[in-house]
Structure 1
Amino acid sequence: MVDARFYFSDARTWRYMVASIEKIIEEGVFVATGEGLYLRALDTSHVAMVDLFYPNTAFIEYDIGGESVEFGVSFDLLSKVLRRARKEDELVLEVEGSRLAVKLKSRGERTFRIPQVVMTYEKLPEPKVSFTVRARMLGSTFREAVRDLEPHSETLTLRALEDALLLVGSSEMATVEIELSQSRGSLLDYEAESQDRASYSIEYFSEMLSAAQAADAVVVSFSEDAPVRVDMEYLGGGRLTFYVSPKIE
């Protein structure tokens, strides 16, 4: 018996999103309501939060058979299945009692059934943070900037300039500065109320790179020594958000 069914046109979008999620949280509970599919969970260190929402209109088929459905998953296991997704594959998720059927459909249909994770769903509040800086860029710009910084620093510092965003990383051997701006075409949009700065563990940004690969755009929002919010925007109104607490030096 199928308790809920979600049919999505592009399996690889979910492949890349889940690849990033599984690096931050081990398990989580999806909640499907009449509005769409939600996930919100903290990592074990409580440094990072993952917040996913996909509206029901983004799915080819969205059937929950009632007001809401919850299903728990191991992201390690789900990611292993979704790695088999090919470019042309569509994705179907079916909640079948204590199991989750993951179907990859193109020329044929491949079905993987994995056990649901039994865990208590805890509704976490959305972080209440005011941001003074907002920079919107292509996913490829975000990926290239983080990859340039990764080999040279364990810390990523974001600095707001009047008309540009500066990303800085340094070590004993090298210092890397990357300036992104609308005037040079590396930012799609930029707003800065003040020239704030904040530093974060670059490890968390590295873990976001898979999700950025499928994103239409990435929005980075921060304030002075406050958590950063990184929004991945996807086709159909989907959004995967990462919150990361700052490193206070």
Structure 2
Amino acid sequence: MLGRLLMFRISYPNGTKFKKIMQASIKLIEEIPLNVTTEGLTLRALSPDKNALVNLFIPSTSFEEFNVEEETNIVVIKDEFNKAVRRAQRKDSVILIYERGARELKVILFNAKTGVEREFSVSISEAGMEPVGEIKVEPVVKFQIDGDDLKKIITDAKIVADEIEFIYENERILVRAASEDRSYRTTLELDRPLLNLESAAEGRVSGKYSLDLLKGITTALGSAETLILGFGQNQPLRIYMELEGGGILTVWIAPRV
């Protein structure tokens, strides 16, 4: 009996980095659609409530091995994938293998120094998912901030409310959150603590967003990342991060009007 045709075999050289990238990317979604082409690996999916869109791209050049027979689209079960990937360590290569018609994705963690290989089978969802398009909106206001600083803001705001408002005015970002009896306010300016701030707007611009979604993604991103946030008047909030080793993670969060 002939074996199945290999659709792709790709290997990422650092298990810890791959784990961090993936755990941040899948935090807000329930199933994981993977698109693998000769250009790289893409993950694009909506959160269950459709209020967040996650878009991850890792180029083929970031992998130590990238063997793709043809473009492949599969949807893997989140819990199973996460259980496999979270076992990865820094010296592990993370190898993903998929064969045409297979009902599972093979995830292999291989330590070249010790020769230890651990293999996991991750189930493929038979239901599949409808393709999700990209959001083609260019934010009017953009600001760059350390992940730690943003995480503190989100944590403090979450104590008092379930939504946060970003306001651009007079070359600064005003942050507001309020409930019936409590409120939170802070001001972000260039070098205090913003690393960069730019705006194409002539006047005041504001947007309100879910703190639950923001807390979910900032917690998953870790502490050492630099993020670029962008928003417009009642437009989606864009969180943009360039990944160490190559690649881009973008998260869009719908506005609350």
Q: Do the two structures share a fold, i.e. TM-score over 0.5?
A: yes
How many equivalent residue pairs? 246
**Does the alignment pair 1:244 with 2:239?**
no
The equivalent residue for 1:70 is 73
Range with bigger deviation, 229-238 or 168-177: 168-177
The equivalent residue for 2:96 is 93
CA deviation map 1:82-137 (0-9, x unaligned): 22223443322111422111122334222211111223453322123231101122
Which residue identity lines up with residue 42 of structure 1 in the other structure? L
Contact 2:44 2:56 in 1 (8 A): yes
Contact 1:57 1:236 in 2 (8 A): no
Percent of matched pairs sharing the same residue: 27
Aligned counterpart for 1:146 among listed residues 154, 157, 164 = 154
Aligned counterpart for 1:26 among listed residues 15, 27, 30 = 30
The equivalent residue for 2:42 is 38
SS at match of 1:181: strand
The equivalent residue for 2:209 is 200
> What 5-or-longer segments of structure 1 have no aligned partner?
none
Which residue identity lines up with residue 79 of structure 1 in the other structure? N
Q: Distance between the aligned counterparts of 1:234 and 1:56, measured in 2?
A: 14
SS at match of 2:194: coil
SS at match of 2:144: strand
The equivalent residue for 2:244 is 235
SS at match of 1:122: coil
Contact 1:18 1:78 in 2 (8 A): no
The equivalent residue for 2:51 is 47
Which residue identity lines up with residue 241 of structure 2 in the other structure? M
**Does the alignment pair 1:187 with 2:190?**
no
Range with bigger deviation, 157-166 or 27-36: 157-166
| Aligned pairs (5 A) from 1:91-240 | 91-96=94-99, 97-106=102-111, 107=114, 108-184=116-192, 186-194=193-201, 195-213=204-222, 216-240=225-249
SS at match of 2:36: strand
Contact 1:17 1:210 in 2 (8 A): no
TM-score, scaled relative to structure 1: 0.88
Contact 1:43 1:49 in 2 (8 A): yes
What is the CA-CA distance between 1:214 and the residue it aligns to?
Answer: 7.0
> What 5-or-longer segments of structure 2 have no aligned partner?
none
SS at match of 1:151: helix
Contact 2:25 2:56 in 1 (8 A): no
Which residue identity lines up with residue 93 of structure 2 in the other structure? E
Which residue identity lines up with residue 161 of structure 2 in the other structure? S
| Aligned pairs (5 A) from 1:8-19 | 8-19=12-23
Contact 1:215 1:232 in 2 (8 A): no
SS at match of 1:247: coil
Q: Distance between the aligned counterparts of 2:64 and 2:181, measured in 1?
A: 51
